[in-house]
Amino acid sequence: MNIENTQSQMRKGILEFCILSIIRRGEAYPSDIVEEMKAANLQILEGTLYPLLTRLKNADMLTYRWVESNSGPPRKYFSLTQKGEAFYNELEQTWQELSNGVNALTNKKENNS
Amino acid sequence: MKKIININLAGRVIPIEDSAYESLQRYIESLRRYFANEEGRDEIINDIESRVAELMNDKVRKGATAVTDADIEEIINSMGRVEDFEKTDAEEKASASAGQASGTYTQTQSEPKRAKGRLYRDGSDKFLGGVCAGIANYMNVDPAIVRLLFAIITFGGFGMGILIYLALWIILPVRDLDTYVGKRLFRNPDDRVISGVAGGLGAYFNKPSWAFRLIFAAPLLLNILFGVLNGIFFMWQRDIFPNIFIGSFSGTFVLAYIILWIVLPEARSPFEKMEMRGEKVDVNRIKQNVQEGMSDFKTRMQNWGEEVKETAQRVGGRAQEFARTQGADFASDFRQVSRPAGHGCLHAIGVIIKAFFIFIAGCITLALFAAFMAILFGGVAWWPINNFLWTSSIQKGLAWGTLIFFIGVPIVGFMTWLVRRIVRVRSHSRYLGWVFGGLWTLGWICAVFFAVSIAKDVREYERATSEVSLIQPAAGKLVVNVNEPEIHYGGGFGWLRHDNTGWDITDDTLKYNNVKFRIGKSEDSLYRTSVSKYSFGSTKRDAQERAERIIFNVSNKDSILNLGSGLSIDRNSKFRGQGVIVDIQVPVGKKIRFDESLVHAYNPWVVRRSGREYRRYWRDDYRYNIDWDYDDYFDWDPNVDYVMGSDGKLIKAEKAVTDSTGVYEKKAEKDRLKELEEKERKNEKERQDIEREKQKLQEQQNRTDSNSTGFKRKDNDTEVASLTLFSALVI
C-alpha cells in the first residue's frame, strides 16, 4: 500500500466527473479542459484525457464536432449528449452525497481528537 | 550538426530535427502499444497526434526554425508518458483478471531474448512453426526475406524446403525471441525506374541498384533477343538457345518483381527511409527495444494484434514447461499451433495438411505462371503460329486479352495472396482488390467474346471430295503407302522440342497429318479411291473454300496408291480443323495391303503389335466425328494382306507375311500349330491341378465347419479394413 497509488485512485474517481462538468458548461477543446483543470489545481495528463474522452464518446456520453481553426486543420470540440447529461446528474448526486459524507466524517474525527 | 526534416503530422507540415523526430516516433509507438487493447485506439492516437502537431506548430509559429529535442521532451511531458499512464492505471491493471492484463502489454514485460549463438524457433512470430523467424533472428535479417527464400526453395526444389522446414521444426527448441529490428526491405521511391523494387533491394543489401535491375531485366531481355535470333536463324538452329528455360526463367523474375512490388511497402517517411538503409536507426531501435520489448511491431500490432496476443499467451503459458521438457516440445508445439487446445494429433494433421495445401497450391500456380509467362514473353517466337490461328485481328486481340486478363490475372492475384500470407503483409489499400477484380472482369469479357468468335468460326462444316483415277492393280492387290518423307518439325521455334513429328510449321505453311481412312466394299470389280478434304468455317462457303485450299498429294502407279505424308495449309486459310479422309473401295475377294510407311507418317493410329514401335494415339477426333463415325480408327496391321469380305469388312488374309516381297512362309504355319498344341496341353495340366486343390480345400472345410472359424475370419477382416482406413487417413 503506497500513498501515490491511493492518491491516484482518489483522483481517478473524480476525473470523469470533473471533465463532464467542464464540458457541460459548453463545447470544449481537450487542451482547454486540461488548462481549466490545472487552473483548479487538478493534475491531468493530456495523454490520459484523450482515451477518457474517446471512451466517453464511444459510450454515447459525449459527441463532438469539427471546428475550423485559423491555424491548421479543424479541431475536435466535445459536448455533452442527453445520456451524458443524465450520467452527469447521477454523478453529481453521488458526489454530493460523497463529499457531504466525507466532510462529515473527517470533521467529526477532528472534533473528537 | 543536426539534420532537419519536414514531416506531415495530422495535416500539418512541421520542420523537425532528425533526432527529435525519432523520439517522437518512439513515443507514438509506445502509445500505440499501450493502447493496443483499447477499443478506440486509432482514434485516441489520432487525437494525440493532432494535439502534438498543434503544440509543435505553436513552437514553430513562435519563431523556432525547427522542433528540437527539448521541445519534443516538453511536449511529451505535457502529454504524459506511458510510464505515467501505467502509474495511474496500476491499480486497475492489478485488479483486472490475469487474462486481461496479459496480451501485448505483458509481452512487453516478458523480456524477449535475443538469442546469441544459438538457433531457436521463434515462438512469438511465426507463420507455421516459427522456423523462419528463428533463422532470421539468428542471422539478424528481416524474417520476410527468410520466408521468401524458403518459399522459393520449396517451389523451386520440389518440396525440399518443406522437408528442411519440418526437420528444423522438430530439432529446434522454441523460444520467445526478439522481433526483428534494423534494416527492413522497402521500395525506394527515390531510386526507381518502375516501382523502386530494385532500388529498395539495393539500399537493403547496400549494393548498387543497377545490379538488381540487371538481374530482373536480363533474363527477359535475353529471352527477347533469343526469340529474335531464333526467328532469323531458324534454318540451322538446333538447340542453340534453350529458350523454354530462359522463357520460364524470365517469367520467374518478372513474377518476383511484380510480387515484390505489391508486397513491399514504399519507404515514404524519412524514418522508413533510414530504416531501409539501416542508418543509425539500428542502434537507437535496439536500445529502444531493450526498453520496450517488442519494438518493431507497429504495423503488425495493427493487423495481427489479436493473433500475436493469442500466440503470446499460449507461448507464455508453456514457456517454463518447454524449458523443462524438450522432448515433449514438438508435440505440444503442434497443439499450440491449433486454435483450441487438445486433440494434438488431429491438429498436427491439420497443420501438415495446411502446409501441404499451401505448398501444392503454390506449385500449381507457379507452374501455371511459368507457362503463362513463357507464352507471354515468348511472344516473338509465337508470331508464326498466330499466322494460322486468328481469322481477324479482333480475334487475335481477344485471344491475347483472354490470356493476359482471364488466365494471367487470377494467377498473379493468387501468387500475391500467397506471398502476402507468407510475409504477413496486409493490403495497404483496398484498391488492389478492385484492380484485380476489374482486370479479371475484363478477362471474362474477352474470354466470352473470344469463345463466341471461335465458335462462329467453326459453325459450319464442309467437304470437298475428288475422285482419284486408279489404274487397277494387276495382281488383285492394292498397296497403300507413303513415299514422301515423314513430316518432321523443322525446329523453327526455340520454345518447342525438335523431335516432334507429325506436324511442321513455317512462316507461311502449316503441315500436319490428320489423315483418316475409310475402307469399304466396291460395288463392282474395280478399286476406287476418293479423297475428301474437310474444314470448318463461319459460313458454308467459307468452310468449302477452306477445304478446297487444302493441299494433299495422291498418286497412283501400278498397284501402288501413293499418299502424301500430310496436308498443307497456307497462311491465309488459317487452321480451322482441316483434315483429309481417304476413301478406298475394294472389290469383294480382292486384297489390300497397308505399307508400314503409313504408320510412320500418320499420327492417330494405334498399332497393335507387340515388340514393335508403339505410337501414341492423339485423340483429337471429337470435333471431326462428323465424318468419323463410319468406322473406328485405323486398326489394321501394316504389311499384312487383307481381303475384302462380302460384308464390307476386311479380313486378314490367312497367311502372315514376313517379308515385303509377299512370299508365304510355310514354316510359320507349322510353328503356330505346334505352339497351339503346346498351349492346349499346358491348359489341361493346369485344370487338373486346380481340381485337385479344390477337392482338398473342400474336405478341410467340411471338417471345421462347426467351429467358429467363420467368425474369426470376419474379425480379422474388419481389423484389416479399419487398419487400411486408418493408414489411408494418416497418409
B4: CB partners within 8 A, 6+ apart: B15, B16, B17, B18, B65, B66
Q: Which residue of B has its CA nearest to A29?
A: B51
pTM for this one? 0.39
Residues B245-261: what's their mean pLDDT? 61
Among A81-95, B188-202, B624-638, the range of highest mean pLDDT: A81-95
B377 has a pLDDT exceeding 70 = no
Q: Are A15 and A52 in contact (CB under 8 A)?
A: yes
DSSP string, B533-584: EEEEESSHHHHHHHHHT-B--EEEETTEEEE-SSEEEETTT--SS-EEEEEE
What b/e string do you get for B413-448 counting C-beta neighbours within 10 Å, with b at 16 or more?
bbbbebbbebbbbeeeeeeeeeebeebbebbeebbe
pLDDT tens per residue across span B59-112 = 888 888 888 888 888 888 888 887 777 665 554 444 333 333 333 333 333 334
- CB proximity A7 to B under 8 Å: no
| Shortest alpha-carbon distance between residue A100 and chain B (Å) | 26
Q: How far apart are CA B28 and CA B45, in angstroms?
A: 8
- CB proximity B80 to A under 8 Å: yes
Q: What is the pLDDT of residue B294?
A: 38
C-beta atoms of B48 and A47 within 8 A: yes
Q: Which residue of B has its CA nearest to A58?
A: B40
C-beta atoms of A9 and B54 within 8 A: no
C-beta atoms of B79 and A46 within 8 A: yes
Q: How far apart are CA B478 and CA B542, in angstroms?
A: 36
| Shortest alpha-carbon distance between residue B286 and chain A (Å) | 25
In total, the C-beta contacts within 8 angstroms joining chain A to chain B are 69
- What is chain A's Cα-based Rg? 17
pLDDT tens per residue across span B518-550 = 788 888 888 888 888 888 888 888 888 888 888
Q: In terms of pLDDT, which residue wins out, A30 or B151?
A: A30
Q: Which residue of B has its CA nearest to A4?
A: B87
B335 has a pLDDT exceeding 70 = no
What residues of chain A lie within 8 A of the CB of B31, using their CB?
Answer: 47
Q: How far apart are CA B638 and CA B599, in angstroms?
A: 7
ipTM: 0.82
- CB proximity A1 to B under 8 Å: no
Q: What is the pLDDT of residue B541?
A: 87
Of the pLDDT bands very low, low, confident and very high (cuts 50, 70, 90), residue B435 is confident
- CB proximity B37 to A under 8 Å: no
Q: What is the pLDDT of residue B8?
A: 84
pLDDT tens per residue across span B625-684 = 344 434 445 667 777 788 887 777 777 776 444 444 444 444 456 677 788 888 888 888
Q: Which of B80-94, B556-570, B685-699 has the lowest mean pLDDT?
A: B80-94
Residues B11-24: what's their mean pLDDT? 86
What residues of chain B lie within 8 A of the CB of A72, using their CB?
Answer: 11-12, 53-54, 57
Q: Determine the residue among A46, A49, A68, A77 to mutate to test chain B binding: the one whose Cβ has the most chain B Cβ atoms within 10 Å.
A: A46
| Shortest alpha-carbon distance between residue B24 and chain A (Å) | 14
What residues of chain B lie within 8 A of the CB of A4, using their CB?
Answer: 87
**Bridge partner list, B591:** B477, B643
Other C-beta atoms closer than 10 Å to the C-beta of B476 total: 15
Q: What is the pLDDT of residue A89?
A: 92
What residues of chain A lie within 8 A of the CB of B14, using their CB?
Answer: none
Q: Which residue of A has its CA nearest to B90?
A: A5
Find the farthest-apart pair of alpha carbons in chain A and give their distance in angstroms, rounded. 59
19-48 of A, contacting B, C-beta below 8 A: 30-31, 45-48
Question: Which candidate, B518, B487, B103, places its Cα nearest to that of B315?
Answer: B103
Parallel, antiparallel or unpaired: strands B477-482 and B591-594: parallel
What residues of chain B lie within 8 A of the CB of A31, using their CB?
Answer: 51, 54
B265 has a pLDDT exceeding 70 = no
Q: In terms of pLDDT, which residue wins out, A53 or B603?
A: A53
Q: What is the pLDDT of residue B382?
A: 56
Of the pLDDT bands very low, low, confident and very high (cuts 50, 70, 90), residue B278 is low
Q: Are B557 and B478 in contact (CB under 8 A)?
A: no
C-beta atoms of B40 and A58 within 8 A: yes
What residues of chain A lie within 8 A of the CB of B11, using their CB?
Answer: 72-73
How does the average pLDDT of chain A come out, rounded? 84
Q: Are B7 and B269 in contact (CB under 8 A)?
A: yes
| Shortest alpha-carbon distance between residue A96 and chain B (Å) | 25
How does the average pLDDT of chain B come out, rounded? 69
For B106, the grid coordinates are 505483458
